[in-house]
Structure 1
Amino acid sequence: MSGAAGARRSLRTNQVPDETPSQKGQPPVGRAALFGLCPECGARTLFTGAATFAPRCRACGLDFGRYNVGDGPAAFLTLIIGALLIAVALAVDFAFEPPLWVHVVLWVPVTALAVVGGLRVAKAALLASEHQRQAAEGRVEDKPHD
């Protein structure tokens, strides 16, 4: 086998994994994440709620339930967005010295919207990435013992 020694070919594209498979009709991961697009057909059918996946694409029928995105992005996003918003809130406090109630009225909804919006984008990016890379659970192949 030429190229990388022992490289496995993709079952669907018959190409070496380092090569880019033809993704006709499939949106790039970034666009699919930002706009909630189906990673197969590009329709805006990925979400049914704020950060809840639809069971399947209404346009092409792709089953979104087979992808294991989980809630991994939630902890990272909460910490990152929290740190950024704390820095901005401190800068606003030092610059304008507003009363405490202004901070509560301003930062509680901004934080909620930032976390939900970020979670939506991160989950969509993970799902689109899994789909385009054909990620699946690892399987142990039975090998004959020497």
Structure 2
Amino acid sequence: MSEIHYGGDAAREDRSLIRSMWRGFKCRCPNCGDGRLFDRFLKVTPQCAKCGEEFHHHRADDLPAYLVIFIVGHIVVGGFMGVEMTSGLGLWQHLAIWVPLTIIGSIVLLQPVKGAVVGLQWALHMHGFGGEEDRLDHHPEL
């Protein structure tokens, strides 16, 4: 396995970003791909049961929700506009189609997107996944 050097003397192994995010999207450990990433719907397991990789220090925060809103919003708005241009559906019919589609799409995508964000953080050695604590950047000019 090749090594990449990130500042200083610390050497880190190369982690495949696409593979890690895909494993996370499938709700699997980004390291081994076998262990479960979630204990509950959105609660990330503290440690992989298969390889022992620790996940307790991840910081997905609000990024998965923003990404889901972005994805579902584009699908729903694009679909709504396409249907509106080609048919004469009434307001209640649009509500009956697009509100449930928005809710279901958001619920279905939230866990896989959060898994992909955790996979992204793991692949890029962010937030404790690189073996060291996060450092705060000090900006004396502020």
User: Structure 2 length normalisation: TM-score?
Assistant: 0.68
Equivalent residue, structure 1, for 2:57: 66
The structure with more radius of gyration: 1
Aligned to 1:66, the other structure's residue is in SS state coil
Deviation at 1:127? 1.0
Equivalent residue, structure 1, for 2:101: 110
Deviation at 1:67? 0.9
Deviation at 1:11? 4.2
Gaps of 5+ in 1: 1-5, 14-20, 141-146
Q: Residue 34 of structure 2 is aligned with which of 40, 43, 51?
A: 43
Deviation at 1:72? 2.2
Alignment of structure 1 residues 5-84 onto 2, 5 Å: 7-13=7-13, 21=14, 28-84=19-75
The structure carrying a bigger strand percent of its residues is: 2
Deviations 1:18-38 (A, max 9, x none): xxx277xx9812421331110
Deviations 1:44-93 (A, max 9, x none): 50123444423332323333221111112313431452244122112112
Give the share of equivalent positions with the same residue, in percent: 22
User: Structure 1 length normalisation: TM-score?
Assistant: 0.66
Q: State whether structure 2 residue 135 is matched by structure 1 residue 138.
A: yes
Between Structure 1 and Structure 2, how many residues are aligned? 126
Name the structure, 1 or 2, with higher relative contact order (CA <8 Å, separation 6+).
2
CA contact (8 A) 1:27 1:39 kept: no
Gaps of 5+ in 2: 1-5, 128-133, 138-142
> CA RMSD of the aligned region, Å?
3.0
